[in-house]
Amino acid sequence: AGTLTADSVQKRKSLFEGKIGQKIFSIDLDIFDDGTIPNGLSSKPFDGEGVIKGKTCVFKDGYLKTYLYNTYTARKDKTLSTGNAVRASYRSTPEVGISNFYLEPSDIDFSQLLGDIDRGFYVMDIIGLHSGANPISGQVSVGAKGIWIENGNLRYPVKEVTIATDILSFCRSIKKVGNDLRFIPSGGYIGSPSLLVRDVTVSGK
């Protein structure tokens, strides 16, 4: 999510630089940053600069619509802040960060996603995401643990697996989105439902 902040883009440290208006995902999905979700870990009335928090549509129908801004980065791009200024403390300079950042769920349940898989891997835990992902090139190589899938059924646990892809290819590989939205704290509050992903390299034992 940090690669979608205007600060990263303006410093040329984001693979999403220059991609506003482009179709990033192969399916029509929406991604939001919403600082107003009831009981959201990062929900609050105002951001670190006193700008009213709101709900920002970052991706609409798979198209990149906007970056996330504080007032400084918004001024550089001649636009308005999205209310994403964050401070480590009241003495700190405001930076750009996410609030409650999530992929909108569909009405497809997990069993339906499983039913579409002949042979595959259900990822339950990612290891080394921060060190294994390059925000500029988009290359990703991370460890994972999970369960092997055969004929739509969860079969047996698998560990010591490596997943290798790049972020843009991964976005295009998402074929279906589930309805089981879950959040985790990670430099904000990041949420996603289960995803059906094709053509990603998985290797290991």
Q: Which amino acid is at 92?
A: S
For residues 46 and 52, give the distance between their C-alpha atoms in angstroms, rounded to a whole number.
4
What contacts 47, CB < 8 A, 6 or more positions away? Answer: 35, 53, 70, 81, 83, 84, 85, 86, 94, 99
pLDDT value at residue 33: 97
Q: Which amino acid is at 37?
A: I
Please check whether residue 151 is in contact with residue 188, taking contact to mean a CB–CB distance below 8 angstroms.
Answer: no
pLDDT value at residue 114: 96
pLDDT band at 58 (very low <50, low <70, confident <90, very high): very high
pLDDT band at 131 (very low <50, low <70, confident <90, very high): low
Instruction: State how far the alpha carbon of 78 is from the alpha carbons of 6, 37, 71, 192, in Å.
Output: 12, 28, 10, 31
Kindly state the average pLDDT of the residues 136-144: 89
pLDDT for 80-124, tens place per residue? 999 999 998 888 899 999 999 999 999 999 999 999 999 999 999
Q: Is the pLDDT of residue 1 over 80?
A: no
For residues 84 and 56, give the distance between their C-alpha atoms in angstroms, rounded to a whole number.
10
Reduced to 3 states (helix: H, G, I; strand: E, B; else coil), residue 201 is strand
Q: Is the pLDDT of residue 5 over 80?
A: yes
Q: Which amino acid is at 180?
A: D
Mean pLDDT (the chain) is 93
pLDDT for 7-48, tens place per residue? 999 999 999 999 999 999 999 999 999 999 998 889 999 999
In this structure, what token pair is assigned to residue 27? 């399916």
Q: Which amino acid is at 179?
A: N
pLDDT value at residue 130: 64
Query: Which residue is associated with the tokens 């670190």?
Result: 48
For residues 152 and 161, give the distance between their C-alpha atoms in angstroms, rounded to a whole number.
20
Q: Is the pLDDT of residue 167 over 80?
A: yes
Please check whether residue 196 is in contact with residue 113, taking contact to mean a CB–CB distance below 8 angstroms.
Answer: yes
Report domain extents, the chain: 1-107+177-196, 117-175
